[in-house]
Structure 1
C-alpha cells in the first residue's frame, strides 16, 4: 500500500483544494504518473504517485480543502478496490493524518513569514500570526496585516447564515456556483488592498500615432528576426521601467513605518484566464530588450492558460501593468497588486478628435491610469511618472535608443 500525500506546495502555502482527480478508484496508476490536480491560491499543482498499482480509494473529494501532509488517497496492488478490502487501511491512517494537521497548526505561527515589526506587534496584541491574512501575494505578514486583524469586526458568522438561507427551492431562476479557491483569494486580496491602502488614481491620455506607425514599419522585420510579434506591451514595459528609475518611490512598498525602495524591476503583467486574473512577472525587465520582453510575456500567457505557472513566476514583482483595453475598456481604476504601491492601467485605443496646434485632427488615443498608494507617493511623483510614460510612448524612438 502507498499513501498519496499533499506535498509541500510553497513556503507560504499550507493548504490547497482538490481541483480534479486524474485517476479514479479501481484505475491503474504507474509510478511517476499524475493522480490528482491541486489548486492553490496562485498556481495549480499536479501530484504524482510514488508507486505503481491500483487506486484503492480517494480520502477527499473534488472541491475539498486539504492540508500539506494530509493523506488523500491510497494506492495498492490488485486489480480493483473491493468494498471490504480498503476499509481497514483507510481507518488506520485516520489518526496519523489528524496528528499531522495538529503538528502543522502547532508550528504554523513560527513558520509564518512575517516582518520583525509584525511579529513584535502580534506578540503585544496576543495575536496568532498563523491566523492573520496577509495582503502580500508572497504570504508575508506585515504590521498593517496584524493591525487589520486586530481591528477587523468579527462578523465572520454571517457567511454560514447566508448559506443556511440558500437551500431554497431550485426553480431555475438562479444558478449557485461555488467560487474557486483562486477566485476567493483574488476577492479577498483586492478587498484588503482597498481597505488597507490610501489608494488614489490619476489619469492621462496618450497619442498612439507615432508608436503605431513605428510598430507598423518594423513588425515584419521584428518577427523575422525574433520569431515573436512586436506588440505594445514591450513599449509600455520599457517606458514604465524608465519612469520607475526616475521616480523610485513608485517602485516601493511599505513595511510598518519603513518604506522599502526596490532596486530591481520585475514588472507584473496581468493575464486573464478562465480561473481568474493572474499576475506573473517579467523578471529583470530593465535588462531585457523588446524581443525578450515580448517573448517572456507570450511564454507567461501560455503557462497561465495551461495552469503551468510556478510560484517563482508569481512572486516578487515590484510594479504591475494591466491592459483592460484588450476587452474594450475605455477607462478604469485598477487596484494595486499586493503590497506594491503602483499599477498602470492601459485601455483601448480609440480614434477621436484632438487639438494639434490650432487644428483639430483625428488621432488614435489611449487613456492610461496610475493607481498609487498616497501614503508613499505624492501627487508630484504620480503625475510626473504618468507624464513620463506618456512622453516616451509618444516618442518611441527614445525608448529604442534607451534600450
Structure 2
C-alpha cells in the first residue's frame, strides 16, 4: 500500500507544476464552471467512452493524428504483458532448477553410499562413478540459480516501478483523449445549433471551446510524456535483459560443456564392464548380457577402427624409398639416419677438416658446378696424395726360418702294465 501511495504522489507531481500543490489549487481552472456545464462535460465524456467500447468508427483525421500514440500504447501493453509472463516463467524455472538439482544430489549421494557397500569390485566402481557424475551435475546446475535469482529480483523491481509509472501516464493519456473526443462531439452539437444572434448560445459555445482547448493542451502534454516514457521503458528493458542474461548464458554454456564431458567420459569407461547378474529380477539377466556383448563389440570395433586409421596415417607419412626424385631429403634421412651423406665432413689423418675455415676456399668442390667432373676428381686425388704423410716400414716380428718339428710323446705297452 505504501508503494502505491508513493507512486501516486510521483505521478501527480509532474502534472501539477503550475499549481501551488494544495488540494484546492488542483481544480483552480474548474472554479468558473457551473453545475450544468460540468454535467454536460461528464455526459459527453461517458458518451464517447460508450462509443469506443462499442467500436464506433471515429473520424479518419482524428484517428490519424493519434496514430503515434496508439503505436506507443500498443508497445507498452506488449512490454507489460511479456514482462509479467517473463517474471512468472523465471519464478517457475528457478523452482524447477532447484528441484532438479536437489534430486540429482540425492541420487548421487545414494549411488555413492550404496556403491561403497557392494562386494563386486566392478559394480562398486560403476555405482561410485555414476554417483559422482550426478553430484557434479547437481553442483553445476545449482550454480545457474544465482544469476537467475538476481534476474528475477531485478525484473520484479522493473515491473513494480518502471512499468507501473509508465502505466499511470498511459492511462492518464487515454482518459484525456476520451475527454477530448467527447468535448469535440459536444462542440459539434453546439455548432450545429448555434445562432450568432443568440447571446446565450454564443456563451455556451465559448464555454465548449474553452473545454476543448484545455483538453487539447492536456492531451498534447500527456502524449509527449507517454511517447518518451515508452521509448525509455523499451530501451531500459532491453539493456536489463542483455546485462543480466549474459551471465546466465555463460554459466548455462559452462554447465552443458562440463556435464556433457563428464557423462561422455563416464559412458566411455562404463562400456568396458560386463553385464550385471541380477539376483532378484532374473528375467533381466539375458537382456543385460546381450547389451553388454553389444557394447563390448562396439568398443572393440571402435578400437580396431582407430588402429587402422593410425596405421593408414603412418603409411601416408612414410615416403616411398624407391622414388628418390620426389622424396630426396626424406629418403636419405630415412636410409642414413642423417640429413645427407654428402654433408659428412672428411677428416684426414693430419687432422685437417675439408670444408672448414680457410681451407674451404681451396677445395675444388666449392667452385662452380660446371667444374665438378673428371678433372676436379683427379685434382682432388692428387692433392690428397701430396698432403698425406709418408709412413716408414714396420719392423719384422717373425723370421723366414723354418720352425723345428716337435718329437711325439712315448707310447706305453699295455702288456708291460699288466
Higher helix share: 2
TM-score (norm: length of structure 1)? 0.19
Question: Taking structure 2 as the reference length, what is the TM-score of the superposition?
Answer: 0.18
User: Which of these two proteins has the greater Rg computed from alpha carbons?
Assistant: 2
